[in-house]
Chains A and B, each alone.
Chain A
Amino acid sequence: MAKIAYYPGCSGLGTSVEYDSSTRAVCRALQVDLVDVEDWSCCGSSPAHTVNHVLSAALSARNLAQVEGMGLDQVATPCPSCLTNLRTAAHKMAHQDFRDQVNALLDIPCRTNVETKSVLQVFDEQVDPQLILSKVVNPLTGIKIACYYGCIMNRPPVLMRFDDHENPMAMDRLMCALGAEVLPFPLKVECCGASYGIPRGDIVARLSGKLLDAARRLGADCLVTACPLCQMNLDLRQGQINRALGENFQMPVFYYTQLMGYALGLDRTELGLNKLCVDPHRVLGKIKQPVPVK
């Protein structure tokens, strides 16, 4: 496969360092050749575009220009928020006026011929399913999974153009291939409360609580996410949610790349399972050990 530029995003160096390291490990195992974007900078995250669309787009476009400078035409990011910002910048820069305003702020103009994809989309579209199947050494047999995509991975559909925007299935297919029992989780694209975790913890408690409740009602052993912010709200704040709602959720919340790495038998230190707040070992213990081949 051709080289793909890799944009970890700021959270990949901090709150979701285990997402970053497990993504890199899984890509290596699946022969997805990632090259870090040289001298990358913040995409603007949520604050920038609430202040100024041109400045926000310039922050993202700078990274796209860096990718162009590397001679690559695809950049993958694990973070849906970075994905939204990078794609939005390119989308808006299709208009000449807007592009001129953005490029006036950049040292190297951005020609917007780089396509940004989520790492999930790369797995779904560019990796041979047979390759994944052949690499599975610890099938996830015995655990029940609810896949949670978050609200912006697939939406708005005109911008994202990947998977169904109300009922995405890419992660479900992936987890199924790894041997897990994937439950029909109805709130796959519901909001977790996102950045309201800081100013309005009650909102996150209500919204994320609803997600945990729906997963528990279905009989899920764990939630699987693809977004650093969702994972943080559901995992790190699970105690807060329990206190706010008078609940007792004990639901591990994995990054999908962690479970992939687990199934592919990758080095546990790279998967960062010890970074999770809700202890996953009880759930991982449910996985039936494969019968050793003699």
Chain B
Amino acid sequence: MRIGVFICHCGSNIAGTVDCPKVAAKALTYPDVVFSTDTMYACSEPGQDGIIAAVKEQQLDGVVVASCTPRMHEQTFRRAVERAGLNRYMFEMANIREHVSWIGKIMEDNTIKAQELVRMAVEKLRRNRPLIPKRFETVKRVLVIGGGVAGIQAALDCADGGQEVVLIEREQSIGGKMAKLDKTFPTVDCSSCVLGPKMVDIAQHPKITLYACAEVESVGGYVGNFHITIRRKATYVDWNVCNGCGLCLEKCPSHKHPDPFNENLCTAPSINIPFPQAIPKKAAINPQSCLKLTQGKCGICATVCPLKCIDYEQKDELVDVDVGAVIVATGYDLFDWHKYPQYGQGRYPDIITSMQYERLLSASGPTGGQIKRPSDGKEPKNIVFIQCVGSRDRSVDRPYCSGFCCMYTAKQAILTKDHLPDSQSFVFYMDIRSPGKLYDEFTRRAMEEYGAHYVRGRVSMIYPQDDKLLVRGADTLAGTQVEVQADLVVLAVGAEAAAGAAQLGEKLRVCPDQYGFFVESHPKLKPVETNTAGVYLAGACQGPKDIPASVSQGSAAAAKVLGLLSKKELESDPAVARVNQPRCVGCGKCIQTCPFGAIKEVADRFGNPKAEVIDTVCQGCGICTVTCPQGAIQLEHFTDNQILAEVQALCPPKIFANYE
């Protein structure tokens, strides 16, 4: 075998603390290495051309590049050796940047470690063999999970791009958090007027199938061929027939249940359509409060329904669908402010969340757009906004900035002045974070044109005095305590991971971060991909995001999916497990341990049970290879022999010791 070794300087990233020419010179002494050199940037065009030229001139049949992490450039160099006429698996990478130059400061030690890593790569490469990927067809259909604005955008873009889309939404209507908002920053345009037409597009698009009141039950398969089971929860209304006339809502006698769409500021009938612009505009029964379902009496809705679509016997329904790609757009939840004892933990009705305030501002909200405080229905005069409730606070394990609260608080202060010209808003803030087009100008408008009084400091306690709330806090710029007599307090609650995100992540094999948000494949270069091929992220399920950013990500995820499904066939990674059938005793241990269900039992020609790997499902994790008591399963490209060769290169066995 003829091996070429290329040691990358990566500018000064590696060469700063590793003697690259020395590593290259040492590599020439390793077995089978016939060519070795150092190069400024191996990944650049001249760098790649140098590799290709060397392969041709030196008749190399294997290449080692010592540079950065394979996560960065393995694909780049595999394509380069392929262009030079080699099989792309006749290539090995030694990571001498993240594993050497960036973590050690002593040039001498670093150089030795780099040499050893190159030695290991050479020993592995000597045992590599060409591998040929298999090709398989993809299902031309996309599943979008979550019908908030990010999911809506992703679904519409995929459908407009010609793919079939299945959009599922946990709630009764799509629209997500944006449907609850009154206005949006920084333009102060009506939220439902912007979102409404997009929601209608979802309902009318011939390529989109919408399942509301539905969740992902299970996920099988792999990129291009996912098998999804969807649970459609019982709504007790036949949605094929219901036309959303709303007669049942008016007649329902059980209407004491808090209305979640209105953030529990008012009550809703037990059979309900959450808001006028709901998509789908269908009624559904709340089984927790319906008299018929809880006590067996009533049945008025069934009597009054002109289309006879009420069905108290309805059960959950499972729907199977095959898709080629999945976009996760499950959004976020609001921080539970009751964790802060200083805000009264719910003892004072006139302390509300920002989302509740949105509902009070909204013309379709419980007060018809009039700001009335919950305790006595009076119009407030002094309104205190408290920012960073559940953001940037390690004491409640929420050290991150939720990003949008500064902006929506400024918007709410502006709207408050519009609604109540005699009112005065006070905003307690830590820092104003408004990076974005026209954002900082907007917060300045709230202060300068709308007279919102901004106080830099935290609130230490809120307590009632007569019919007002005394808000006590610090003014850190003036270095004093301040006390504001407020009629209404609005808590700018931060964002946290959506309830159920962890369970969904487990089904889709998408990692949550320490706060439950899904982790993207690369924080800068792969913002909508995940580490599971074929699963993409959009919107606030990946981290707190405002509407423009969520929409951008929805479109970005759709572009990725359209790119994926535009290929007729996909290649499967050939670095998968393979069973040496004569060795296999058919014990089935590998079948039990495989987390992906990628191994099945087959019979050989004598009828003996044997294990067989399904290439396209295997993720190459290697668990089966360590499970197999016979050593009958080997992971291609990472065989026991290859790994042992690497270990021995690092720690040569001292065989002479026995003869002393």
- B residues less than 8 Å from A184 (CB atoms): 347
Q: Contacting A167 at CB < 8 Å: which of B345, B464, B465?
A: B345
- A residues less than 8 Å from B463 (CB atoms): 186-187, 214
Whole-angstrom distance between the Cβ of A190 and the nearest chain B Cβ: 8
Q: Is A164 an interface residue (CB 8 A)?
A: yes
Q: Is A217 an interface residue (CB 8 A)?
A: yes
Q: Is A92 an interface residue (CB 8 A)?
A: no
Whole-angstrom distance between the Cβ of B59 and the nearest chain A Cβ: 69
Whole-angstrom distance between the Cβ of B333 and the nearest chain A Cβ: 24
Contact between B345 and A186, CB atoms less than 8 A apart: no
- Size of the A side of the interface (Cβ < 8 Å), in residues, is 9
- A residues less than 8 Å from B342 (CB atoms): 166
Contact between B341 and A164, CB atoms less than 8 A apart: yes
8 Å CB interface, B328-353 against A:
341-342, 344-345, 347
CB closest residue in chain A, given B469: A186
Given the complex of chains A and B, what is the CA–CA distance between A164 and B464 in angstroms? 19
Whole-angstrom distance between the Cβ of B438 and the nearest chain A Cβ: 40
Contact between A217 and B466, CB atoms less than 8 A apart: yes
8 Å CB interface, B296-341 against A:
341
CB closest residue in chain A, given B345: A167
Whole-angstrom distance between the Cβ of B278 and the nearest chain A Cβ: 40
Q: Is A165 an interface residue (CB 8 A)?
A: yes
- Size of the B side of the interface (Cβ < 8 Å), in residues, is 10
Q: Contacting B341 at CB < 8 Å: which of A166, A186, A187, A214?
A: A166
- A residues less than 8 Å from B466 (CB atoms): 217
Given the complex of chains A and B, what is the CA–CA distance between A233 and B264 in angstroms? 44
CB closest residue in chain B, given A213: B465
Contact between A214 and B347, CB atoms less than 8 A apart: no
Given the complex of chains A and B, what is the CA–CA distance between A167 and B344 in angstroms? 8
CB closest residue in chain B, given A189: B461
Contact between B465 and A214, CB atoms less than 8 A apart: yes
Given the complex of chains A and B, what is the CA–CA distance between A189 and B347 in angstroms? 16
Given the complex of chains A and B, what is the CA–CA distance between A186 and B466 in angstroms? 11
How does the 8 Å CB contact mask read for B447-482 relative to A, with 1 for contact and 0 for none? 000000000000001011110000000000000000
How does the 8 Å CB contact mask read for A90-128 relative to B, with 1 for contact and 0 for none? 000000000000000000000000000000000000000
How does the 8 Å CB contact mask read for B542-553 relative to A, with 1 for contact and 0 for none? 000000000000
- A residues less than 8 Å from B341 (CB atoms): 164-167
CB closest residue in chain B, given A165: B341
Whole-angstrom distance between the Cβ of A83 and the nearest chain B Cβ: 21
Whole-angstrom distance between the Cβ of A231 and the nearest chain B Cβ: 22
- B residues less than 8 Å from A217 (CB atoms): 465-466
Given the complex of chains A and B, what is the CA–CA distance between A164 and B345 in angstroms? 11
- A residues less than 8 Å from B345 (CB atoms): 166-167
Given the complex of chains A and B, what is the CA–CA distance between A165 and B395 in angstroms? 15
- B residues less than 8 Å from A214 (CB atoms): 463, 465
Given the complex of chains A and B, what is the CA–CA distance between A184 and B461 in angstroms? 15
Whole-angstrom distance between the Cβ of B350 and the nearest chain A Cβ: 13
CB closest residue in chain B, given A214: B465
Whole-angstrom distance between the Cβ of A70 and the nearest chain B Cβ: 37
Whole-angstrom distance between the Cβ of B77 and the nearest chain A Cβ: 54
Whole-angstrom distance between the Cβ of A279 and the nearest chain B Cβ: 27
CB closest residue in chain B, given A187: B463
8 Å CB interface, A209-229 against B:
214, 217
CB closest residue in chain A, given B470: A186
- B residues less than 8 Å from A167 (CB atoms): 341, 344-345, 347
Whole-angstrom distance between the Cβ of B401 and the nearest chain A Cβ: 25
- A residues less than 8 Å from B464 (CB atoms): 186
Given the complex of chains A and B, what is the CA–CA distance between A189 and B309 in angstroms? 58
CB closest residue in chain A, given B342: A166
Whole-angstrom distance between the Cβ of A61 and the nearest chain B Cβ: 30
Given the complex of chains A and B, what is the CA–CA distance between A164 and B347 in angstroms? 14
CB closest residue in chain A, given B464: A186
8 Å CB interface, B204-253 against A:
none
Whole-angstrom distance between the Cβ of A157 and the nearest chain B Cβ: 9
Whole-angstrom distance between the Cβ of B10 and the nearest chain A Cβ: 47
Q: List 5 A-B contacts (CB under 8 A).
A: A167-B345, A184-B347, A186-B464, A186-B465, A214-B463
Binding site for A on B (CB under 8 A): 341-342, 344-345, 347, 461, 463-466
Nearest 9 interchain pairs by C-beta? A166-B341, A186-B463, A186-B464, A166-B342, A217-B466, A167-B341, A217-B465, A164-B341, A187-B463
For the complex with contacts A166-B461, A184-B347, A217-B466, 5 further pairs of A-B residues with Cβ separation under 8 Å are A167-B344, A167-B345, A186-B464, A187-B463, A214-B465
